[in-house]
Every structure is written in C-alpha cells, then in structure tokens.
Amino acid sequence: MAGVSQEQVTEALARIVDPASGNNVVNSGLVTDVTVKDGNVLVVLEVDPARGEEMEPLRKACEDAVDDVPGVLSVTAVLTAHSASQQPQGTQAPPPPQGGMGGGMGGSAHGGPQAGQQPGADAEKPGIPGVGAIIAVASGKGGVGKSTTSVNLALSLAALGKKVGLLDADIYGPSIPRMMGITGRPVSEDGKTLDPMRNFGIVCMSMGFLVPDDTPMIWRGPMVMSALEQLMRDVNWGELDVLVVDLPPGTGDAQLTMAQRVPLAGAVIVSTPQDIALLDARKGLNMFHKVNVPVLGIIENMSYFLCPSCGERSEIFGHGGARETAAKLGCDFLGEIPLHMAIRETSDLGQPIVVSQPGSDHAQAYRAVAERVAGKLDEVMADTAAKAPRIVVQ
C-alpha cells in the first residue's frame, strides 16, 4: 500500500468545518500539528479550554475523515489547549470528555456482550472484547525491574496454560520490544485494527513497534491517553485470559489517569527492598485505592543476592520488607525475585529467563509469583461474577 502523505491528511481535515467559525479546521488554525509515520497519524487540535467538551464531536469527525484516507493504519486526534502546553510533558491528562476519548481507528464498537462481566469494566471504561481480565504492573519509580517482571510474569502465566497478552503502556520509554526480543512492525489486515506482535507464545503491543527507536517521543498530557487507548483498543488481541499492562514507572498524575481509564481487574506493585523503605510501594497502593482498583499484591524484586560463584545468599538491602509492608497495608505478598546477573542478561538480550532457562531457580521464582497472581485474579473474577446482575428466565 502506498504511503500516506501529510498533504493527504491535511486535505481530508480541510473538509471538516468548525461550526463555531464556519471555517474548516485547517484554515481556522485549529489543527496545529499533523504527524504521519508509517500510516499512523497523529492530529493535534488546539482549542479554547472552555470549548473542550463541545469540541469532542469535531475531534471525532477529524479522526473519521483521516481514517477514510487510503493507507491510514491508525489515527488519533487529540485536543490540547494553550494552558496544557505549558505543563511539563507527560503530566496529567484533562478530565475525560463525556463519552470517552476512545475512538481511534474505525471507531469500532468497544465492549462485547461479556464486557459488563469483565472485572474493572463499566460504562466509562468499557472492557476489551475477548479479553478476560486486565492487570497492571506498577512501581513507585523507574529502575526497580517493573518491565522485567511484567515480561516474566506474562510468560509464566502463559506457562500455566493461560492465553496472555502484554501491553507496554510505557510510551515514554518502551522497553518491552527489546525484552521480548521482537523487532519489526505490526500489520493491519483490515486497515482498521493492528495485529499484535507475537513471541514465546504471547501477543504483545508497544509504542516501540510503531515509532522508530531514535524518535524522541514528546507527549503532551491529552495525547498520552489517546495513544494508550489506541494501543489497547485498536488491536486484534483475540481471545485472551489475561492482558498484562506494563505501566510507566511512578505513581504520578499520568499513571493515576491511566489506572482510572483502563478497565483494570487488579494491579501488582513491584518494589525493591530500598524503595519499600522509602514508602514508594505505599504510594502505589494509595494510587490504586483512589481509583478503586484491587491491588493483587506486592512483588519484591532484587530481593536478595545469590552469589554466582559460591551460591551464598546475601540480603544486601535488608530483605523481607515487602512481606512486612504488605501485611501492614493489608495486601498480599506475591513473592520475591533475587538480584541476579542471569535475570539482567536474559532480560536485556530479549531472552526472558522463564523461557530461556525454564529449569532455573529464578524461573521457578517467577512461576511461583504467577501462580499467586492467577489465584488472586480468580478471586477477583469470582467476586465480580457474584456481584453481576442475574437474569432469570421464567
């Protein structure tokens, strides 16, 4: 398929009239940015914040117009305001416009018949058709091994017989493609939804597949949710038991917004012994409590050091803090993962340890965590099913 040009996109946008000015969105200066990359289009509409809500239909019309341009694989139109551009990048998205920011490619109907039963899904946060449950992996800060844990957890859940997807929601620094050893770009069979990438028996989606490595990604607040909604909803996930979402590090406003907008069945918090001492884990817990997402538990990563030559176990950072913190905070402790060179090497080489060294103690540690996560998830699902309205046929 021939590539889409910026001119074609602008031409399509010029057919959309802003009812307030009577002029088209291009000539009236509403369109401030159009980015086209490999058929994926991002349109930025800069609007008066006071008109935010009434602009939603116009935003949608712009998406639909661009979606009709031959060769367009995906389109996201986002509303920004002058005040929003003053914020540092990646800060809080504005309050969600009524009806949601979803849409995107083709504006397909989201939420299948079973969506109401999906834990975490509701009218505001419709579920993803075919996906049984979505769990988020979060951490108080970067560098604690959250992505490494997400990958090994997803693969361990698959080893337990579950159909698993992995969504890299860290749009600032996507590391899942490298850790999963996946290169190349996703394709779209129908021109509307992308097929996820696949390796080691699980399906995977990341902004890293769509944007070249060397492209600096500058996201303004509202773009973050649009991009995430697309990565989540405009993908042919197929039938999945569980979708593991690797959240960006930290528990700031951007993460809170995501936790609020993704229909999460539960969350898992990854902590190191040090950041447990610094109470970062508690921040994570509070964040999910605020948005009523059940915390499935805490995983202690880099928990102890196993000497590769003598096998001696050293607890350099003081160990067991996560177990105590979990007990104190009334949430479950899901297990501990040692600090080990093999985990770092395999993760950075794109050969996660649970698939490259499945017989190792480390792989066993991840599988034990996955079993506990699966158990907790079953509890949440049973709880949701019990609360679901029953239809009695007489």
Euclidean distance between CA atoms 339 and 315, whole angstroms: 10
- Where are the alpha helices (H) located in 14-109, listed in sequence order? 56-67, 82-86
Binding mask 316-355 vs ligand ADP (x if CB under 6 A, - otherwise)? ---------------------x-xx--xx--xx-------
Backbone phi, then psi, for 83, in 5-degree steps?
Answer: -65, -35
- Total of residues contacting ligand ADP (CB under 6 A): 19
For the beta carbon of residue 314, count every other beta carbon within 10 angstroms: 11
Whether 149 contacts 256, CB under 8 Å: no
Q: Residues 227 to 256: which contact ligand ADP by CB under 6 A?
A: 249
Q: By CB under 6 A, which span of 22-30, 44-52, 65-73, 144-152 interacts with ligand ADP?
A: 144-152
Per residue, what are the HEC states of 289-356?
Answer: HHCCCCEEEEEEEEEEEECCCCCCEECCCCCCHHHHHHHHHCCCEEEEEEECHHHHHHHHHCCCHHHH
Whether 298 contacts 271, CB under 8 Å: yes
Q: Residues 92 to 131: which contact ligand ADP by CB under 6 A?
A: none
CA proximity to 112, closest of 238, 197, 288: 238
Binding mask 11-30 vs ligand ADP (x if CB under 6 A, - otherwise)? --------------------
Quick one: which H or E segment has residue 137? strand 131-139
Euclidean distance between CA atoms 390 and 311, whole angstroms: 55
CA proximity to 367, closest of 393, 344, 337, 326: 337
Backbone phi, then psi, for 366, in 5-degree steps?
Answer: -65, -40
CB of residue 330 vs ligand ADP: minimum separation in angstroms? 24
Q: Residues 268 to 307: which contact ligand ADP by CB under 6 A?
A: 301-302
C-beta of 56 vs 300, nearer to ligand ADP:
300
Whether 322 contacts 328, CB under 8 Å: no
* Nearest residue to ligand ADP on Cβ basis: 145
Whether 354 contacts 366, CB under 8 Å: yes
Euclidean distance between CA atoms 214 and 212, whole angstroms: 6
CB of residue 211 vs ligand ADP: minimum separation in angstroms? 18
* Residue 144 binds ligand ADP (CB under 6 A): yes
CB of residue 146 vs ligand ADP: minimum separation in angstroms? 3
Q: Residues 164 to 193: which contact ligand ADP by CB under 6 A?
A: 175
C-beta of 55 vs 135, nearer to ligand ADP:
135
* Residue 8 binds ligand ADP (CB under 6 A): no
* Residue 147 binds ligand ADP (CB under 6 A): yes
C-beta of 63 vs 246, nearer to ligand ADP:
246
Binder among 94, 107, 142, 252 for ligand ADP (CB under 6 A): 142
Binder among 70, 99, 143, 201 for ligand ADP (CB under 6 A): 143
Binder among 127, 145, 222, 266 for ligand ADP (CB under 6 A): 145
Binder among 139, 188, 271, 384 for ligand ADP (CB under 6 A): 139
Residues of this chain that interact with ligand ADP (CB under 6 A) are 139, 142-148, 175, 249, 301-302, 337, 339-340, 343-344, 347-348
